[in-house]
Structure 1
């Protein structure tokens, strides 16, 4: 289906005043409900999942006083009382436990090894001179240096990860580091997707007159899979009211959330929006933004529904701004919200103001002076799918504004918008 510019035919449906992006986002997030159901999984299998209950440390971290460096463990007072040389009385590697330190001696020690009882300082090996079984320190030392003390990072019984955390590699490392063999995570969110449009055909099939390949199906699936969702793909729905009602009804019965592309504008061939109203309620429609003005949110029975325009860039932008945080809130991520933009100097000029807030594809480039600048794609067409591979973010153009070279502009990196996208 096409985006709202132009829509398919005409409609007598009354139009409401479009909401701002912030108003629409707040309305969706207020309506999002965390799914019920969780499962206990091995920690190694929890990448990308969302914690359903907090992780409590089963141990002090570190579990004992240990050396932060390779070097020599000693009593600072013994060094001050000697001629600079101390006999080496033992050798302690990581995974070994030494004996109490004999007064007036030093212990050869390695990173992570337990500091022997009686030692209060570790001197790094780079400032030490070893001669047989004795060592001399050739620099001033600080008493207590280079020792990581038991529990200085975390104490046993403390909360180390809170419920609602989407588990990245560093979270799994920390969970394992405090002894968590298994983690309780929310079950996968089931999301049904469908695309509306008689013009759509699948890649590999011959294109007929007026037909296009269904890129939205692949875009939807990939975005959802990157968020860890279970995708229920209902394919292409014909531009018929009965077929649309039947597909949406089936989707709502099978899924926790229904997403549709196309059919949400006001044309005679746009059947998704009226079908949702027939099956349930439409709570939000139209946002003061470009691309993606006809964003729809409602419920099919008790199942939430989000409808995006059919042009692929419109789908992508509205998914990132609205569907992504809504999905994250349903998955149990409590801090799901619109991202905070980076303010960077513009590398382009805009003399003709836009009528509504415009999310244009952009990327960061380094100019001849070594200055980071925001450059925008040469076309603002919501059908230009290639712009999404050229860009590494979106530049936000406010309504009624002109922009000169080097003016600060709001830039939203894809790393903050697209699940699994590489950082800049």
Structure 2
């Protein structure tokens, strides 16, 4: 009698696995932004997604103003050559403008942001004049229109300032305040249910039985989802029982936009998450050409999107950032966000790899004096070694067809900064 060998994450190649790029494209193609918005104060809007396009109600800046501290003049008083003295006929400050019209042959002491008075078409920086007892001495090295910020130069009235789908950053909040807008419409929070599955799991505070492990995956996911635009529904630890899983997931789907579970999606006798999803929902795929993270189930359950992540802690984190996070951003309607860039770095060690799957290696990215970046692994890369994530500050992305990386070769690196 012979026993058929089941494929596993340790295999270097398995036919029929979905490539990482294809899996992500499949996921995103099935998702749409959620409906609904909230009206909130701009003070609470950082990290939220704008649900409306904001148009400038007036010119920004609202009037011609000085770009520097200096002296406002009429350009007809600039000498063709040599120098010319101009008496000071007044002063202008931001909030305290000069009233009236500047006569030719005079200047006004003006501060940055002060409105440009009538009769003025140029400002000379204070460092570029000689201050005399009752005036200033200027030379011929000036031109009409210099150092003046025109009304509407930043944003003209009626122009789109911020577009719907913008993930709001600190500068955006200041921009909204600059037009006097106190409240805005943002996408409602995404409701996400999370669960860990496995009879071997123990909650924190419980006695850990022999062969048992403390549940870490829910806490990693809670931390990754700790943001203003997400509401978390914690389903806790679910027993490896098909009826229990089916009941809990079905109940969660009445509330949640997305359900994320960890464990139970491989080929073991107690891997019931995938089975429950097959019975009550639809699975689009459940195996991808990725290490770690090969067993990943994606599908739908009623009106909820479902991600069945692997059970190993590192595989949970890798699959979350490579697949779940882009899905969250799509469902939140984010179309404009700060870029989480990838960089090229030089490997300082040999990294073994065979072609046929993408491998995500935990690494330590370091800047060098010559402007280059170098990368090294965090050591052993087992998918259960959560410390390899804790030590890392970047993912090393080894592409599907890539082979072993030699010392001195370049690799694509995804820094955690901007991603996590």
CA drift of 1:5 comes to 4.5
Conserved in 1, the CA contact under 8 Å of 2:343 and 2:414? yes
Structure 1 position 94 matched with structure 2 position 60: no
Structure 1 position 410 matched with structure 2 position 412: yes
Distance 1:368 1:256, change over 3 A: closer
Distance 1:335 1:105, change over 3 A: closer
Conserved in 2, the CA contact under 8 Å of 1:39 and 1:185? yes
TM-score, reference length from structure 1 = 0.90
Residue 238 of structure 1 corresponds to 239
CA drift of 1:53 comes to 1.1
Conserved in 1, the CA contact under 8 Å of 2:83 and 2:138? no
| Stretches of 4+ aligned residues off by more than 4 angstroms | 4-7, 335-340, 367-370
Whole-angstrom distance in 2 between the partners of 1:125 and 1:202: 68
Distance 1:158 1:370, change over 3 A: closer
TM-score, reference length from structure 2 = 0.91
CA drift of 1:112 comes to 0.9
Residue 70 of structure 2 corresponds to 71
Whole-angstrom distance in 1 between the partners of 2:166 and 2:352: 44
Q: How many residues align?
A: 409
The root-mean-square deviation of aligned C-alpha atoms, in Å, is: 2.4
CA drift of 1:169 comes to 1.0
- Segments of 5+ residues of structure 2 without an aligned counterpart are 1-7
Conserved in 2, the CA contact under 8 Å of 1:68 and 1:148? yes
Residue 38 of structure 1 corresponds to 37
CA drift of 1:85 comes to 1.6
1:55-204 matches, within 5 Å, as 55-80=54-79, 83-99=83-99, 100-137=101-138, 140-204=141-205
- Segments of 5+ residues of structure 1 without an aligned counterpart are 8-14, 419-424
Whole-angstrom distance in 2 between the partners of 1:391 and 1:366: 15
Distance 1:395 1:262, change over 3 A: same
CA drift of 1:177 comes to 1.7
Residue 353 of structure 1 corresponds to 354
Conserved in 2, the CA contact under 8 Å of 1:51 and 1:186? yes
Whole-angstrom distance in 1 between the partners of 2:369 and 2:283: 51
CA drift of 1:128 comes to 2.2
Conserved in 1, the CA contact under 8 Å of 2:280 and 2:301? yes
Residue 393 of structure 1 corresponds to 394
Residue 284 of structure 2 corresponds to 283
Distance 1:200 1:333, change over 3 A: same
Whole-angstrom distance in 2 between the partners of 1:106 and 1:202: 76
Distance 1:234 1:178, change over 3 A: same
Distance 1:416 1:19, change over 3 A: farther
Which sits farther off after the overlay, 149-158 or 124-133?
124-133
Three-state SS of the structure 2 residue aligned to 1:378 is coil
Write out per-residue CA displacement over residues 47-100 of structure 1, whole angstroms, 9 at most, x where no aligned residue. Answer: 111111111111111111111111111122213179422111111111122122
Whole-angstrom distance in 2 between the partners of 1:307 and 1:335: 28
CA drift of 1:400 comes to 4.7
Whole-angstrom distance in 1 between the partners of 2:230 and 2:243: 28
Conserved in 2, the CA contact under 8 Å of 1:261 and 1:315? yes
Whole-angstrom distance in 2 between the partners of 1:52 and 1:175: 14
Write out per-residue CA displacement over residues 80-125 of structure 1, whole angstroms, 9 at most, x where no aligned residue. Answer: 1794221111111111221222211111111111111221111111
Conserved in 2, the CA contact under 8 Å of 1:359 and 1:394? yes
CA drift of 1:314 comes to 0.8
